[in-house]
Amino acid sequence: MEILHTAAALQAYTENCRRAGLRLALVPTMGALHEGHLQLVRAAAQACDVVIVSIFVNPTQFNNPDDFRLYPRLPEADANMLAPAGCTVLFLPSVEEMYPKPSVMKFDFGALERVMEGTHRPGHFNGVATVVGKLFHLSRPHQAYFGQKDWQQVAIVQQMVADLAFDLELVSFPTVREADGLAMSSRNRRLPAEARTVAPRLYAALQLAAEQLRQGASAAAAQQAASAYIASEPAFTLEYFEIADAQTLQPVSGWHPGQPVVVCLAAHLGGVRLIDNIVLQP
């Protein structure tokens, strides 16, 4: 596995691969890798000849300076996990390398970002689109892998790929969970032990809402039941609990067979902000 630190080195590398007729996959991450990331890498390695994994804690997508400062950074441990999973190139740039000049261009994803993470983390998706767009240009992958744990992010990146005609296939991968249901996340490392024991309630709340919707409850009733369940554990502060059309992300009044719906939440627990979602397919 090669480790590259500069944009120029990555561009040169991927250009050679393209010339040699190889298929390239990109897996963008912020590091502190877990099994969820590794499953993306393994899936990419199955489908492509070259797997580029980027690790970059992107300052422009953090609206909370403490979250950026405390975000776990473990580059050596990450590098050791990547080669066995099938990573060919680890791209590990500095902030100066990714942002030689402050970027001024702004993305506006319209209704897609006027909900959930977009509302609660102002500027977040502008930072995501900026860095993902740069990574797409530097690595020119045939495929790019993203996790459904960040459902809204997948929708936003899909929109950017379409609007800017990026010549790549976006592959979205189901959420990988701990045995007790907690969605794997780099931020889980920061959960105090006591908080970690109650954290699976978030997934249980999503399942509760999904079950109610399947039985014909209105979105408002399902949302209320799930929110009350979360509130019964005082360690949680619920930021949002939304039931939305899985494609447009706009609120729905209930679940109707034929309409994929996503149930999304964000909550604070033990000083950590967690997100999760569940999708109801037709």
The count of other CB atoms within 10 Å of the CB of residue 127 is 18
**Shortest Å distance, C-beta 231 to ligand AMP:** 25
Tell me if 117 sits within 8 A of 266, measured CB to CB: yes
**Shortest Å distance, C-beta 63 to ligand AMP:** 15
**Shortest Å distance, C-beta 58 to ligand AMP:** 8
- Whether 37 sits among the annotated catalytic residues: the reply is yes
Tell me if 8 sits within 8 A of 84, measured CB to CB: no
From the number of C-beta atoms within 10 Å of its C-beta (0-12, 13-18, 19+), residue 124 rates as: buried
Binding characters for ligand AMP, 20-59, by CB under 6 A (x = yes): ---------xx-----xx--x-------------------
Span of 67-75, 173-181, 191-199, 232-240 interacting with ligand AMP by CB under 6 A:
173-181
End-to-end Cα spacing for the chain: 42
**Shortest Å distance, C-beta 254 to ligand AMP:** 27
d(CA 207, CA 182): 12
Amino acid symbol at 85: A
Binding characters for ligand AMP, 142-171, by CB under 6 A (x = yes): ----xx-xx---------------------
The count of other CB atoms within 10 Å of the CB of residue 8 is 11
Which residue in this structure is represented by tokens 């994994």? 53
Could you list the residues known to form a binding site, using ranges.
30-37, 61, 147-150, 153, 176, 184-187
Could you list the residues known to form a binding site for (R)-pantoate, using ranges.
61, 153
Binding residues (CB under 6 A) for ligand AMP: these are: 29-30, 36-37, 40, 146-147, 149-150, 173, 175-176, 183-186
